[in-house]
Amino acid sequence: MEGSSLSNTLKERGNGGSRFALSFSSLSYKAQRRVIIILFSILPLALLATFSYLPLYRMVYYSFFSWNGFSKNLNFVGLENYMTIFTRPEYFSVFKVSLYYFFATFIQMGLALYFATILTFKIRGKNFFKGVLFFPFLLNGVAIGFIFMYFFRPDGTLDALLHVFGLSEFIQLWLGNPDLINISLAGTSVWRYMGFNFIIFLGVISSIPRDIYEAADIDGANRWHQFRYIIVPSIRRIIELNVILSISGAIAVFEIPYIMTGGANGSKTFVIQTVDTAFKFGKFGLGSAMAVVLLIIVIIVTLLQNKLFKEKGA
């Protein structure tokens, strides 16, 4: 008796999959629809909740406490963490470092736009140049960090190059001099990300129909006119978008300086400061408050961007 009911259950379990499929397809489409909506959204939403929104909520919560990350005692301190960020220069001054990366993005986009434009027209070795200019973007961040540690080290690639061109007198401690370090690091960032802007600009510019250029040629427009009146208007939005994204991007810089210098010699960015505060110095409350400040800046920038685009009637 017992045994047979057990084997029955086992059999039912074994058939579980196909039984489900059978019973699912025998449901009315209306009922199926309800089941599938829940079935197909539950896991993606569960992951989103657990790893995006729960951390967000916790982060805001911790930011009002003084806490070392593992003790059971969380001391409520109100807005003290936020006060610390905005009054103590060692926390606030790191925003200055972001300016280097912010300006570097303009150089990066200028180069990307220049190369995208000349590669749009007929040119020899197009695929080669396209590949070479884009390739750095695909590389591993740690590898890039090391490549440029070697590039900037004394007697490294840059010094050797200057030597070859008879410019030895300009040799500097590229990563040792606090006045130069952020320029060197921002330069590395340009090397890494230029290819990404470039490939996007190239994609957008190539989507402009050929006959527009031909018509312009017939009307006697030169390359500069074509650039100014055909290419620029068509990629204007994407440039604006990139400029605005570069603000939050510049504040969120982390990998390159962290790998190359660990934030030494005045190269600490806001995110390195945040990660160090929490994980190295065990100030999770303060670290969380810094993360919240960063998030608020990003949100403001995004809202600003949406507003700008809406006003233009885009």
Partner 1 sequence: MEKAKSIFFAVLKYGSLLLGSFAALMPLVVVLFTSMKSRDEMANTSALTPPENWLNFDNYTKAFVDGKMLVGFMNTTFILTISIVGAILLGTMIAYILSRFDFRGKNIIMALFLFAVLIPGVTTQVATFQIINELDLFNTRGAAILLFMGTDIISIYIFIQFINQISNQLDESAMLDGASYITIFTRIIMPLLKPAIATVFIVKGVNIYNDFYIPFLYMPKEGLQVVSTALFKFKGPYGTQWEIISAGIMIVILPTLVVFLSLQKYIYNGFTQGAVK
Which 55-74 positions form the footprint of partner 1 (CB under 8 A)? 55-56, 58-59, 62, 69
Strand ranges for the chain from DSSP E? 65-66, 75-76
Closer to partner 1 by CB, 185 or 290: give it: 290
CB of 279 to partner 1, least distance (A): 8
Closer to partner 1 by CB, 58 or 96: give it: 58
**By CB under 8 A, residue 172 contacts partner 1:** no
CB of 135 to partner 1, least distance (A): 6
**Which helix (H) or strand (E) element contains residue 147?**
helix 141-152
**By CB under 8 A, residue 239 contacts partner 1:** no
**By CB under 8 A, residue 278 contacts partner 1:** yes
Answer for which of 74, 173, 183, 200 binds partner 1 (CB under 8 A) is 200
CA diameter of the chain:
96
One-character DSSP codes across 277-306: IIIIS--HHHHHHHHHHHHHHHHHHHHHHH
**By CB under 8 A, residue 155 contacts partner 1:** yes
**By CB under 8 A, residue 134 contacts partner 1:** yes
Token pair 């009054």: residue: 87
**By CB under 8 A, residue 196 contacts partner 1:** yes
Dihedral in degrees, nearest 10, Cα atoms 170, 176, 180, 182: 150
**By CB under 8 A, residue 199 contacts partner 1:** yes
CA proximity to 235, closest of 120, 77, 127: 120
**Which helix (H) or strand (E) element contains residue 97?**
helix 94-120
Cβ atoms within 10 Å, residue 182: 23
**By CB under 8 A, residue 99 contacts partner 1:** no
Stretch that binds partner 1, among 90-98, 173-181, 198-206, 225-233 (CB under 8 A): 198-206
CA 8, chain centre distance (Å):
55
For the segment 258-277, give every residue that binds partner 1 (CB under 8 A): 259, 271, 274-275
Position 73, amino acid: N
**By CB under 8 A, residue 308 contacts partner 1:** no
Answer for which of 10, 13, 19, 36 binds partner 1 (CB under 8 A) is 36
